[in-house]
Amino acid sequence: MAHVKLHIPGPVEVSEKTFQAFRSPMIGHRGQEFKDLYASIQPQLQQLLYTKQLVYLSTSSAWGVMEGAIRNLVSRKVLNCMCGAFSDKWLDVSKRCGKEAEGLQVEWGSPIRAEAVDRKLATGQFDALTVIHNETSTGVMSPLEEIAALKQKYPDVMFIVDAVSSMSAVKLEFDRLGVDVLLAGTQKAFAMPPGLSIFVCSPAALAKAATVNDRGYYFDLVEFQKNAEKSMTPSTPSIGHIYALQSKLEDFFAEGLEARFARHARTAQMTRDWAKGQGFDLFPEQGFESQTLTTINNGAKPGGRVVDVPKLVKLVKQQGILINGGYGKIKGTTFRLSNMGDETDATMRQLYAAMDTALKQL
């Protein structure tokens, strides 16, 4: 069957080079060869995340680490900042972990604002908060710098940040931000197969985790740190993913991080321009649009062109490209185009051309 190119916001297209690295011959995960592999990519991971902390590798999708962060870092009550399908779900996950949790819900399409977070934290009820930097459902990027700045005012609150669909595409300076956990899965901007998560924790998070009971084993932050100090993971990792990550980091640094961030910002702007040129409105509040994907309004809110989204998806697919027809409660009333990973100006133009053709056929 002919391959349909992915322009959905994850998983995204994986290059042949990455796949070749992914299928490297297997090695033992407690041997020197594995330690050398992990140690070889650690400095680049630290550079990518602008951190001196050890960067951890978890063989799980992002939810594993998201749930793990709750289990490790919440002893009183967690504030789950909610602005879309994934951030809303985190409240439910916190409760399923048996934690006291409260939502700070904003309307889908709006970002999380630091002032609202500040008002909640000022109650003194919370010892942790979760925030999603780039809400992949709504295509909204919340102002992380401003939210993270609150850490200085609330040093005992654990700031847990999901950068699942922004890490490696947007500059995220972990140490400077001063947050406690920053995490992502590899099937988004890393352009790798799904199944590996990359994350980093502050020394404060490790100290807090050590005091929390019932944090389990698989996602125990203390175990991740102990093992990372020896260039290992707590349990048998997906070694293929780590070879793929090594290859991907090679690509990132060959391009240059700043060039990579600029490419994502530019191709996201190109997509917004394309959508507006076709008469559509954007779903996110102006000024908070994602740099890795574009959520286009299609009746979810007043304004702009409205088309038959399932038909549009089908017509684009007939040209060999998969786009996403909206997620959660805005499925069909929005649709999403991804520019994350290896996409260039040229490959994005191919997407717009396919979209133009499909729109004419509707």
Q: Which is nearer to ligand PLP, 291 or 354 (CB)?
A: 291
Q: Which is nearer to ligand PLP, 64 or 307 (CB)?
A: 64
- Contact by Cβ (8 Å): 205, 56: no
- Contact by Cβ (8 Å): 354, 321: yes
For 253-349, strand residue ranges (E) read 293-297, 321-322, 334-338
Exactly one of 44, 94, 165, 202 binds ligand PLP (CB under 6 A); that residue is 165
Work out whether 343 is an interface residue with ligand PLP (CB under 6 A): no
Exactly one of 63, 154, 252, 352 binds ligand PLP (CB under 6 A); that residue is 63
- Contact by Cβ (8 Å): 79, 126: yes
Stretch near ligand PLP under the rule CB under 6 A, chosen from 46-54, 58-66, 224-232, 328-336: 58-66
- CA atoms within 13 Å, Cβ hemisphere of 109: 19
Q: Which is nearer to ligand PLP, 165 or 247 (CB)?
A: 165
Exactly one of 106, 150, 157, 164 binds ligand PLP (CB under 6 A); that residue is 164
Cα distances from 112 to residues 73, 94, 148, 252, in angstroms, run: 21, 19, 12, 30
Exactly one of 86, 108, 190, 335 binds ligand PLP (CB under 6 A); that residue is 86
Q: How far is the CB of 134 from ligand PLP (least distance, A)?
A: 6
Exactly one of 68, 109, 185, 284 binds ligand PLP (CB under 6 A); that residue is 185
**Helices 62-73/85-96 angle, 10° precision:** 50
Q: How far is the CB of 203 from ligand PLP (least distance, A)?
A: 25
Exactly one of 62, 117, 158, 309 binds ligand PLP (CB under 6 A); that residue is 62
| Four-CA torsion 37, 182, 270, 347, nearest 10 degrees | 20
Exactly one of 57, 73, 132, 140 binds ligand PLP (CB under 6 A); that residue is 132
Cα distances from 246 to residues 37, 65, 67, 190, 237, in angstroms, run: 8, 21, 26, 11, 14
Going by C-beta distance under 8 Å and a sequence separation of 6 or more, which residues neighbour residue 210?
Answer: 222
Work out whether 138 is an interface residue with ligand PLP (CB under 6 A): no
Q: How far is the CB of 295 from ligand PLP (least distance, A)?
A: 12
- Contact by Cβ (8 Å): 134, 86: no
Sites of contact with ligand PLP (CB under 6 A): 10, 61-63, 86, 132, 136, 162, 164-165, 185
